[in-house]
Amino acid sequence: MTSRKPALAVVGATGAAGAVMLRILSQRADVWGEIRLLAPPSATGGGRGGPVCPEPLAGPGPVLRGVETEVLALDEETLRGVDVAVFLAPEEVAARWAPIAAAQGTVVIDASPAFRADPDVPLVVPEVNPHAARLRPRGIIASPGCTTLALIVAVGALHAEFGLDELVVSAYQAASGAGQAGVDALRGQLAAVAGTGLGTAPGDVRRAVGDDAGPFAAPLALNVVPWSGALEEDGWSSEELRVRAEARRILDLPALRVAATCVHVPVVTAHSVVVHARFERAVTVARAHEILATSPGVVLYDDPAAGDFPTPADVVGTDPTWVGRVRRHPDDERALEFFACGDNLRKGAALNTAQIAEAVAAELAAGRGTRP
């Protein structure tokens, strides 16, 4: 006796993360029956930028498993009959449509910030807290932001062994973290400064780029910009506070001390993070290496003597979190420092939602309920 494979909807299929999702669905095990590609009506006219980019793709329709596939407009009818819906769309789209889909009995996995702080919506990273996805009172599961996902799989593995006490993070965010508008801005700025002698006098890069820095607070070419998000209390940015809140929820450590600094860097795709993690027990590099080398979703690449450590240019397009430069703090036997990189459009957006969706598909196939 065979059972029907669950139907999947990809909301935001025409965006950058949506395109990555279609590649992931074509590469991974075939657990889905019908796959329905949906886009908010505004996507047909351009839409607003954001971490998961609703901009339409030029040319023919997107290719799914080798077949050019029609993209349907998102509405109640196109959501009907869907078992699982992954939302790779802007926050306002998810805030409106995810509850509508859930009310129809669809399990929603949302990659936007719309529900990440909702106590009735689990925030899930399958390598760290897969059990949390099973209890979803609203029928919605949230996926964390791409900056959190660049570090949390590695941090979670170390926490399970040593017990995390404090986390200090410096995040170096790629331009694609600001959507297609960020990528376009960086490429335009690089074109403006290429082949010049700029970067040697105050303000020369800013003058060459002009008044429009795109979604960034300052020119990104030949520069780094220590700001991401909106201004919050005491000078913190919304992106920095999200890393704090998301790490606490995923690790189930509501009082964890977390401080993050987010910096945009002139990289197209793949976020990097410098992590200072202090634990409840003494740590060693050798044991940290063992844990990281055997943790799902992590690749340990750490031999500085041979020039082996991750960089965003080398890990872009790959799924894991890559970790290197692992060191014990010279003045604290309970603290580790390390450097990590991850593709912010793969694990940082599409892959994490795909992994959650596959877990839900297995749950549905086993006949377990989806709501308490």
Q: Which of 262, 264, 271, 341 is catalytic?
A: 271
* 146 a catalytic residue: yes
In b/e form, how buried is each residue of 120-132, taking b as 16+ CB within 10 angstroms? ebbbbbbbbbeeb
Q: Which tokens is 39 given?
A: 């886009």
Give the pLDDT confidence of 258-316 residue by residue, as tens digits: 999 999 999 999 999 999 999 999 999 999 999 999 999 999 999 999 999 999 999 99
Phi/psi at 96 (5° precision): -80, -45
Give the pLDDT confidence of 195-245 residue by residue, as tens digits: 999 999 999 999 999 988 999 999 999 999 999 999 999 999 999 999 999
Phi/psi at 77 (5° precision): -70, -45
Q: Give me the half-sphere count of Cα atoms (radius 13 Å) on the Cβ side of residue 344.
A: 29
Q: Which of 146, 159, 262, 264 is catalytic?
A: 146
pTM of the model: 0.90
